[in-house]
Amino acid sequence: MPTVRPNAARAQPPADRGGSTWSISDLAQEFALTTRAIRFYEDEGLLSPRRKGTARIYGERERTRIKLILRGKRLGLSLSEIGELFDLYEATRSERPQLAKFLQMLSDRRAMLAQQREDIDAVLAEIGALERECRRRLKRGEDTAPAAGARAGGE
């Protein structure tokens, strides 16, 4: 779980514009989340529902932010990176800086995934070679006991 950082200033509750509202349970059900996860996003400063007594009232802004949080997580972004994107938009009320930062994050993520793919391909190639060697030895009927202290895979 990411470290909780103080972000009370990050997400300010929007003014009531008379639009649609949802309860925490409504949003949890819609997005297949737990209410605890939604409250965690609130604690992280990513959401700021209005309050009516102890009840949280979520507007379109929070609903959209949950969609964006889930998309960011699917892309492998951290909650702090997602929050940074939200902050850029709130600070400038312009998509331009937000989009530029998002492009950089996507580029970094793509590079990391490409490296992981290379690493996986190398491991798969090694597994393939070991499987072929094992099959070859089984086919030849080799049944020699390994030298004392030797382990499978030649290590």
pLDDT, tens only, 113-146: 999 999 999 999 999 999 999 999 999 987 666 6
Query: Using one digit for the tens of pLDDT, what is the confidence trace for 98-117?
Result: 899 999 999 999 999 999 99
Query: Using one digit for the tens of pLDDT, what is the confidence trace for 29-43?
Result: 999 999 999 999 999
Q: How far is CA 13 from CA 61, 71, 89, 106, in A?
A: 9, 22, 15, 29
Q: Which residues contact 84 (CB under 8 A, 6 or more apart)?
A: 101
Query: Using one digit for the tens of pLDDT, what is the confidence trace for 27-86?
Result: 999 999 999 999 999 999 999 999 999 999 999 999 999 999 999 999 999 999 999 999
Q: How far apart are CA 145 and CA 59, in angstroms?
A: 70
Under the phi-then-psi rule, with left for phi > 0, alpha for psi from -120 to 50, and beta for the rest, what region is 149? left
The model's confidence at residue 19, banded by pLDDT at 50, 70 and 90, is confident
What mean pLDDT is reported for the chain?
86
